[in-house]
């Protein structure tokens, strides 16, 4: 069940209205076909961590956005595909890795699938921690790990053709890759 | 024994189908399943060195044994984010 499914239609005086898909308390880790809402996700995350440890002193959000060009070619739109159950497990793995590296931090990850237009967000990551350094580092770590292990694929459509983007071979046991993500995060 | 195989993204397009049933011998590994699928769909062969895999919706190694009824997934290099 996709938690971002459209809610029930409400009949009002001005005709049918679709309720906002985002509801408070929905899963912090999700794959969805609906537009992403970074602010709402950050607010949910903040509510979850405000009572934890020293409390929440900073939230870092990252949005991956559909770019209009790829290697000089003009992109018309993208389509993302995921192996959803395994992608959610990879997000849970990243969450537990973040908890190990930055015990005071918490994370939310929503990744969109289906057709996306230029400028739309494909992924939103929110990290919350008692202090900003942990929030920034955990957020950078998470996007690097998503690119390494999440079974999600980007299909680009150009004016003159299309191409699947193929990055890393997903290998959750590759400790060298995980270390690279840690090293990159340390500079965040 | 028979396992089901799921192909994603470009692998699915190259094979022309998302789901394949595959018969393999007792004691077979996921690597054996890959070889059987690639034999049927030679366009997949170039992915032998870059493909990763899952068994029953968990990441697995190509050397892992398979059992009758397992759901195997082959994943081309990923590009989320």
Q: What is the pLDDT of residue A54?
A: 79
- For residue range B47-73, list pLDDT tens digits in order: 999 999 999 999 999 999 999 999 999
Which residues contact residue A8 at a Cβ distance below 8 angstroms, ignoring those fewer than 6 apart?
Answer: A19
Instruction: Name the interface residues of B facing A (CB cutoff 8 Å).
Output: 6, 8-10, 13, 50-52, 54, 57-59, 61, 73, 75-81
Instruction: State pLDDT tens for residues A93-132.
Output: 999 999 999 998 999 999 999 999 999 999 999 999 999 9
Chain-chain contact of A154 with B80 (C-beta, under 8 angstroms): yes
What gap in Å lies between CA A79 and CA A159, rounded to an integer? 15
The whole-chain average pLDDT of chain B stands at 98
Work out the minimum CA distance from B71 to partner chain A, whole angstroms.
12
CATH architecture type of domain A27-186: Alpha-Beta Complex (3.90)
| CB–CB contact B77 A122 (8 Å) | no
| Residue of chain B with shortest Cα separation from A81 | B9
Q: Does A184 touch chain B (CB under 8 A)?
A: no
Residue A114 has what pLDDT? Answer: 98
CA B56-A82-A159 angle, 5° bins: 150
Whether residue A19 has pLDDT greater than 50:
no
| Residue A160 touches chain B, beta carbons under 8 Å | no
Q: Which of B8, B61, B78 sits opposite A150 (nearest CB)?
A: B78
Q: From residue A63, give the alpha-carbon distance in Å to each of A97, A120, A125, B14.
A: 20, 9, 7, 31
pLDDT of residue A52: 80
pLDDT at A7: 43
Q: Closest residue of B to A62, CA-based? A: B81
For B14-41, what is the mean pLDDT?
97
Asked if the model's pLDDT at residue A13 lies above 80, the reply is: no
Would the CB atoms of B76 and A80 count as touching at under 8 Å?
Answer: no
Question: Hey, of A153, A162, A178, which one would you mutate to test binding to chain B, going by the most B CBs within 10 A of its CB?
Answer: A153
Which residue in chain A has the smallest CA separation from B77?
A169
Per residue, what are the HEC states of A25-85? CCCCEEEECCCCCHHHHHHHHHHHHCCCCCCCCEEEEEEEECCCEECCEEEEEEEEEECHH
User: What pLDDT band is residue A48 in, cutting at 50, 70 and 90?
Assistant: confident
Cβ contacts of B50 on chain A, cutoff 8 Å: 166, 169
Task: Categorize the per-residue pLDDT at A14 as very low, low, confident or very high, splitting at 50, 70 and 90.
Answer: very low
Percent of chain B with pLDDT over 70: 100
For the cut 80, the answer to whether the pLDDT of residue B43 exceeds it is yes
A88 close contact with B: CB closer than 8 A: no
Q: Has residue B6 got a pLDDT over 80?
A: yes
Q: Do A83 and B8 touch (CB under 8 A)?
A: yes
pLDDT of residue B33: 98
**CB distance A165–B79 less than 8 Å?**
yes
pLDDT score for A15: 40
Where do the structural domains in chain A lie, given as residue ranges? 27-186
Give the model's pLDDT for residue A23. Answer: 52
Q: Is the pLDDT of residue A12 over 70?
A: no
Three-state DSSP at B69 gives coil
With a cut of 60, say whether residue A25 has pLDDT above it: no
Instruction: Please answer yes or no on whether A166 and B73 come within 8 Å at the CB atom.
Output: no
Q: Which two tokens stand for residue A155?
A: 């299909």
For residue range A131-178, list pLDDT tens digits in order: 999 999 999 999 999 999 999 999 999 999 999 999 999 999 999 999
């Amino acid at each position: 069940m996709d938690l971002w499914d459209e809610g029930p239609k409400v009949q009002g005086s001005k005709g049918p209205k679709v309720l906002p898909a985002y509801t408070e308390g929905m899963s912090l880790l999700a794959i969805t076909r609906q537009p992403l809402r970074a602010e709402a996700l950050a607010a949910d995350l903040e509510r979850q961590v405000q009572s934890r440890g020293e409390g929440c002193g900073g939230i870092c959000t990252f949005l991956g956005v559909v770019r209009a060009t790829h290697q000089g070619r003009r992109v018309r739109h993208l389509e993302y595909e995921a192996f959803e159950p395994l992608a959610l497990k990879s997000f849970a793995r990243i969450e537990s890795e973040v908890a190990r590296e930055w015990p005071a931090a918490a994370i939310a990850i929503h990744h969109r699938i289906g057709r996306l237009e230029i400028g739309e967000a494909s992924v939103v990551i929110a990290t919350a921690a008692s202090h900003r350094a942990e929030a920034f580092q955990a957020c950078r770590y998470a996007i690097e790990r998503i690119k390494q292990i999440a079974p999600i694929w980007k299909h680009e459509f150009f004016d003159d053709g299309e191409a699947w983007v193929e990055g890393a071979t997903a290998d959750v046991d590759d400790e060298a890759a995980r270390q690279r993500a840690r090293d990159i995060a340390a500079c965040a | 024994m028979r396992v089901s195989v799921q192909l994603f993204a470009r692998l699915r397009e190259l094979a022309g189908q998302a789901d394949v049933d595959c018969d393999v011998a007792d004691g077979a590994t996921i690597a054996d399943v890959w070889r059987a699928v690639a034999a049927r769909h030679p366009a997949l062969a170039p992915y032998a060195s870059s493909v990763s895999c899952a068994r029953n919706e968990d990441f697995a190694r190509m050397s892992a044994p398979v059992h009758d009824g397992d759901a195997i997934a082959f994943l081309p290099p990923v590009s989320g984010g």
